[in-house]
Every structure is written in structure tokens, then in C-alpha cells.
Amino acid sequence: MSAATATVTPTTGADDVRIPLRGHLRHTGALIRRNLLWIRQDPESMFDALLMPVVFTLLFVYVFGGSIGQALGGGQGKYVQYVIPGMIAMMSMTLSQGVGTGFSQDFSSGVMDRFRSLPIGRGSVLFAKIAVELLRMLFATAILMVVAVLVGFHISSWPGLFATVGLAALFASSIMWVFLTLGVVLKSAQSVQAMGFLVLFPLQFGSSIFAPPKSMPNWLQHFTDYNPLSTLADAARGLMTGGPVAHPVWVTLGWSVAITAVMAPVAIHKFRTKS
């Protein structure tokens, strides 16, 4: 029997059926460890999670805080209370893009070909990627809150803060399935990054993250009403500083479940069948 014959493994995912849940969990844990070790060897990969909260907080608070704060009926302090919860929503979307670019790089380097030749659950590779990106998001959120307190943000409810982080993590995990699909379908990490920019830019700035929608044109206000980042930002404000909570939380949960239900099977199928 030749070596080529001995190493051929079907890529249709049929081997997943024979792997019990405990095996999937063990494989996922091993792959999470592998991804964390890669970050340890390449600490520069954490620069975006470290610097993005600092740069965006200082930029929006000190450049736009005075004018937008006056529109909100206060000053810079009023804007700090408005924008910080929205920035948690922004980071949940922005950092999600990293899972797609990293996935594409693994394909280009041949790492994914090695994984797909091993008798491991195909979904374990994807779940491990999502888990590590969620840890990066939690790290960035911690940095954001430290900077936020330094610029004058007041947390009205600590349980609300933890609920906000959990809701943002749930929404981020759903968006990661979109970028995982892009990481499989597109041919390079640069293509994933460019496509991500085209998706992220209008969603972030056409929302209630940085400014109240009342100041926007009517057509843009309609867009923000259906923008999941707006509902996530509004839910974060309600949970952390007080205000309406039930409606934006339920709408955000609905978006998260719907996106996951549609995109997770697509991402797993594309990964299994990629040639």
C-alpha cells in the first residue's frame, strides 16, 4: 500500500458521525491550546485587541465628545456615558473579523490541510477559532473599561456590565460564522479583510454607536432601526447606565440566533467540502 493511499481521508465530514461528544470537546480543547500557543509565539497578533480600545476611546471622546455631547444635552461627560457602551458593540463586530483572516492564513499555510487529514471533528476546528477570538474580545473589553473609567465613565450597574459583555460575546460569536465562511470561500486574508471592511464600515457608522440616530437623515434612521449593532449598543446603554432594556436585548438575541442558525451550517459545510 502506498503512502498516498494510506493518508487519504474523506473530507465530507462522515468521520464526524463516529466521533462522540467527548471526542469533539477534547479536540476543541486541544485546538484552543494550539491557537493560544500561536498567540504566545506571535504577541503582535494581540496589538489590535490592545490598542483599538485605547485609540478609539481617546479619539471619539476628545475629538467628537464636546460637540456630540452638547447635542445630547450635556458635554464631554455626557458623551462618555453614551459612547462607551456603544464601543463594546463596535468591538464585538470589529474583532470578529480576525477569525476570518486567521482562518484564511491557516489555509494558505497548509495548516488546514493537515487538520482535515486528521481523524478529528471538522466542527472542532471552527469552534476552537471562535473560542480564542472570544477570549481576545474579552481582553479588549477589559482594556476598554479601564480606559473608559480613566476618561470619566461611571458604571451604574456591575451586573449590567457583565450582562452586556455576555450579550456582546453572543452576538460576536454569530458574526464570526460569517467571517469563517468568508475565510473559507475567499482566496486570501487580504480579500477577507477587504470584504470585512465593506461590511463593517456602514454597519458601525450607520448605527447608534457613535451618535444618536435623531441627527441622521430619515432614510439612514430607517437603516439604523434594523441594524443589529444599534440594538446591541442600545441594550448595552440600558444595562450599564440605565434606560430601556427588554426590546433591544430581545432583538439582539434574535439577530444572534438567526445569524448563527443560517451561517454556522454554511461555514461547516464549506469547510468540509473545500477542495
Q: How far apart are CA 98 and CA 105, in angstroms?
A: 11
Q: Given pLDDT bands bounded at 50, 70 and 90, which one contains residue 271?
A: confident
Supply the angle between the helices 122-150 and 47-59 in degrees, to the nearest 10: 40
For 151-190, what is each residue's pLDDT tens digit?
999 988 899 999 999 999 999 999 999 999 998 888 888 8
Q: Given pLDDT bands bounded at 50, 70 and 90, which one contains residue 256?
A: very high
pTM, two decimals, is 0.85
For 192-228, what is each residue's pLDDT tens digit?
888 888 888 888 888 999 988 888 888 888 899 889 9
For 97-155, what is each residue's pLDDT tens digit?
888 888 888 777 777 777 777 767 767 888 888 999 999 899 999 999 999 999 999 98
Place of cell 444635552: 73
Cβ within 8 Å of residue 148, ≥6 positions away = 57, 80, 84
Q: Phi/psi zone of residue 46: left (φ > 0), alpha (ψ -120 to 50 degrees), beta?
A: alpha
Q: How far apart are CA 83 and CA 228, in angstroms?
A: 16
Q: How far apart are CA 41 and CA 154, in angstroms?
A: 37
Cα angle value 97/141/122 (rounded, 5°): 40
Which pLDDT score, from 0 to 100, does residue 12 have?
44
Single-letter code of the amino acid located at 40: R
Closest CA to 85 of 192, 242, 202: 242
Largest CA distance in the chain: 78
Closest CA to 200 of 92, 126, 63, 99: 92
Q: How far apart are CA 63 and CA 79, in angstroms?
A: 11
Characterize 47-56 residue by residue with b for buried, 16 or more Cβ atoms within 10 angstroms of its Cβ, and e for exposed. ebbeebbeeb
